[in-house]
Amino acid sequence: MSQHFPALLVTVPLLSALLISIVGWLYKRLCFPIAVAALSVTAYSSVGLLLSVMHEKEILYRLGGWEPPWGIAYRVDHLSALVLVVVSVVGLLNLIATQKSIQEEFPEKTGAFYTLYVLLITGLLGIVVTGDVFNLYVLLEITALTGYGLIAMGEEHAPLASLNYVYMGTIGACFYLLGIGYLYISTGSLNMADIASILPGLYDSRVVLAAFIICMVGVCLKMAFFPLHTWLPNAYTYAPSAVSSLVAPLMTKVMIYVMLRLMLTVFTPVFTFSRVGLSDSMVWLAVIAIAMGAVLALAARDMKRMLTYVIVAEVGYMVGGAWLGNRAGMTGAILHIANDALMTLCVFLAVGNIVYKVKGYAFKDLQGMFRKMPYTMSGLVAGALSMVGVPPTCGFFSKWYLISGGVQAGQYGFVAALIFSSLINVILFFRIIEIGYYEPFGADHGQGSSRVRTAEAPLTMVIPLLIVAGGLVMMGVYTGDIVAHVIAPVVPPALGN
Amino acid sequence: MSNLLSSIVDNYNYLIYIILMMIGLYAMIAKKNLVKKIVGMNVLQTAIILFYVSIGAKKGATIPIIQHGHGEGAHEMGASVIKAAEYINPLPHVLMLTAIVVAVATLGVALALAIKVYDRYQTLEEDEILAQIREK
């Protein structure tokens, strides 16, 4: 059983998606339990994979028994095992947390919704687990297509936002496909490990350089790296809250994983950091991304849009950290994939609970919220503290690694941008807390505050939120262990100590 | 000059794919109509399919099927006879079957979304839609 975990990760949700779409016609109530069962299997398998990877270093799964490079191989190392656990756990928690709001928002479409939801998770897990660059493209498109569908189920402007996402996402995927084509011309292989073993003789080839740059442009479009972020704020704001809290933590983070995979495994670190010569410009682009994300978040006029610009800034953190080209920066970037997924999930779940109760996410809807929904707001505060980077939440530790990486590399612009963005986050989240705590709820200002009763979201929504909020602290407390056992083996020795 | 000309003639497949790709990107960036953008998107995808198909082709080569090469004895005989230069490379073509499926699916989703957009705003012109959004 356990040796088939890599295949189960993809096949179980894929077949369940088919099952859900059939069952959805007849028994709508069965859709949710099937989805939970499928995602529980994936969560169990990915945790099992993480544990066995710690002993064995790397797991190679040959689909259909074909030897790589002819057959498609699934390859799990420490980095992919970590991201697998993040994706499957976030997917499962969000599925349970959003059940009520999905029932309320689309009572007629639950079958379609859960089919797309499970397919999206299939695509994300497949991207992480695959060891073949073309297979990655196909799974990338599965993820993107289901994402377009899910986002378009949202409120008024959602189809337009989703259509803009289709345009940008397709250009991104096409660039990635073109880059692989160039790589295939020069190496004749599509298997990641095989390409990496052929490439050293071709480091001076201009085709390989073009392949690298084209792939990077495509991936940067997909991960919404400023200035290619324009599709993200509208798409994530207008999406249903259950979808926002799924795609916001996972999509951009998995794309960061793809970038790291390309940088570290396909094109080896030697090529990426010493032959391409783009490190400095990428770090400066990340600086601009962080600064612009922070400023645009400050200008946003509702909570969801503000958070989407925070995501744009966070993408800048991870890209910048990865391109610093030293051990601390890379550690920070990888750690931040997990941490950022958790804290984005935390704040978006809290916003989802508020939307469920108040039917709005404008700043004024937050008035008196601390009395009305105390647990939801404490979850939001935990997520906010982590985004600001207050110890012992995990956001502090990844930011610490990123900053020390920036200092070691002498990139003081990056360090300044990180600190600037943290300060802006303080303003952003304390504004929310101020409105929620000090401004009274409802029409009768000044005197009505004592009359506000608690009207908390249902327990199935609050408990997952509090689990995630607790997870933020746990991740922070165990940062040392995670870095030593999971992240340290991933960072290539070429990056020094 | 003759160098340039011969390199153009030798690599005309790459030129065509780049021109097609630029047409697609131009349509997606410059056109205001949402369906024209979708058409541009499809041209872009087709350009990349053309690129892949052309890299598998070889002059004077045939389809990669070995005649009378079925069964047990074929392997021993095949090893001496097969010259890779005589057969086109089927792998890029097979990859493109998948890419075509992806392109069709993307086109379907995009057109479905365009219908939903039209239902909401009664137009497919991007500037008119933005004007409607701004009025509210």
- Measured over all CA atoms, what is the biggest interatomic distance in chain A, rounded to whole angstroms? 76
Candidates A174, A176, A182, A214, partner chain B, best to mutate (most B CBs within 10 A): A174
Q: How far is B3 from chain A (nearest CA, A)?
A: 19
Whether residue A112 lies within 8 A of chain B, CB to CB, comes out as no
Whether residue B114 lies within 8 A of chain A, CB to CB, comes out as yes
Residues facing residue A130 across a β-bridge: A74
In chain B the domains, ranked by start, together with CATH numbers, are: 2-60+77-135 (1.10.287.3510)
| pLDDT value for A410 | 86
Q: How far is A159 from chain B (nearest CA, A)?
A: 6
Residue with tokens 């000090």: A438
- pLDDT tens across the length of chain A (497 residues): 678 888 888 999 999 999 998 888 888 888 888 999 999 999 999 998 888 888 877 888 888 888 888 888 898 988 999 999 999 999 999 999 888 888 888 888 888 899 999 999 999 999 999 989 999 999 999 999 999 999 998 888 889 999 999 999 999 999 999 999 999 999 888 888 888 888 888 888 888 999 999 999 999 999 988 888 888 988 898 888 889 999 999 999 999 999 999 998 888 888 888 888 888 899 999 999 999 999 999 988 888 889 999 999 999 999 999 998 888 889 999 999 999 999 999 999 999 888 888 887 888 778 877 788 888 888 888 999 998 888 888 889 999 999 999 998 888 989 999 999 999 999 988 888 888 887 765 554 444 445 556 777 788 888 888 899 999 888 888 888 888 888 888 888 777 65
Whether residue A145 lies within 8 A of chain B, CB to CB, comes out as yes
Residue A274: other Cβ atoms inside 10 A: 12
Cβ distance B106 to A184 less than 8 Å, yes or no, reads no
Q: Which amino acid is at B129?
A: I
What's the predicted TM-score (pTM) here?
0.91
Cβ distance B116 to A134 less than 8 Å, yes or no, reads no
CB contacts < 8 A, A to B, total 67
Of A216, A220, A242, the C-alpha closest to A231 is A220
Whether residue A163 lies within 8 A of chain B, CB to CB, comes out as yes
Half-sphere exposure of B34 (CA within 13 A, CB side): 28
More confident residue, B7 or A340: A340
Q: Say which of B34, B52, B109 has its CB closest to residue A148.
A: B109
For chain A, give the secondary structure using H, E and C.
CHHHHHHHHHHHHHHHHHHHHHHHHHCHHHHHHHHHHHHHHHHHHHHHHHHHHHHHCCEEEEHHHCCCCCCCEEEECHHHHHHHHHHHHHHHHHHHHCHHHHHHHCCCCHHHHHHHHHHHHHHHHHHHHECEHHHHHHHHHHHHHHHHHHHHCCCCCHHHHHHHHHHHHHHHHHHHHHHHHHHHHHHCCCEHHHHHHHHHHHCCCHHHHHHHHHHHHHHHHHCCCCCCCCHHHHHHHHCCHHHHHHHHHHHHHHHHHHHHHHHHHHCCHHHHHHHCCCHHHHHHHHHHHHHHHHHHHHHCCEHHHHHHHHHHHHHHHHHHHHHCCCHHHHHHHHHHHHHHHHHHHHHHHHHHHHHHHHCCCEHHHHCCHHHHCHHHHHHHHHHHHHHHCCCCCHHHHHHHHHHHHHHHHCCHHHHHHHHHHHHHHHHHHHHHHHHHHHCCCCCCCCCHHHHCCCCCCCHHHHHHHHHHHHHHHHHHHCHHHHHHHHHCCCCCHHHCC
Cβ distance A166 to B45 less than 8 Å, yes or no, reads no
Which tokens belong to A32?
A: 């949710």
Of A279, A330, A333, the C-alpha closest to A495 is A330
Q: What is the DSSP letter of B60?
A: T
Give the residue on A whose Cα is nearest the Cα of B55: A185
CB-CB contact of B123 with A154 (8 Å)? no
Q: How confident is the model at residue B38 (pLDDT cuts 50, 70, 90)?
A: very high
Residue with tokens 């970038």: A259
Distance of CA A259 to the CA centre of its chain: 13
- CA angle A471–A476–A480, rounded 5-degree value: 125
CB-CB contact of A321 with A336 (8 Å)? yes
Q: Say which of B45, B102, B113 has its CB closest to residue A138.
A: B102
H helix or E strand, kind and range, residue B75: helix B74-81
Residue with tokens 């400050």: A298
CB-CB contact of A60 with A193 (8 Å)? no
* pLDDT tens track for B67-92: 665 555 555 555 556 777 778 888 88
Reading phi first (left if > 0) and then psi (alpha if -120 to 50, else beta), residue A442 is in left
Cβ distance B106 to A156 less than 8 Å, yes or no, reads no
Residue A485: other Cβ atoms inside 10 A: 13
Cβ distance A170 to B129 less than 8 Å, yes or no, reads no
Whether residue B42 lies within 8 A of chain A, CB to CB, comes out as no
Residue with tokens 């993408």: A315
Of A222, A316, A257, the C-alpha closest to A490 is A257
Separation between Cα atoms, residue B94 and residue A306, nearest integer Å: 44
CB-CB contact of A418 with A403 (8 Å)? yes
Cβ distance A184 to B102 less than 8 Å, yes or no, reads no
Cβ distance A156 to B45 less than 8 Å, yes or no, reads no
Of A353, A366, A385, the C-alpha closest to A473 is A385
- Give yes or no for a cis peptide into A227 (omega within 30° of 0): yes
Separation between Cα atoms, residue A70 and residue A62, nearest integer Å: 10
Query: What is the ipTM metric for this complex?
Result: 0.90
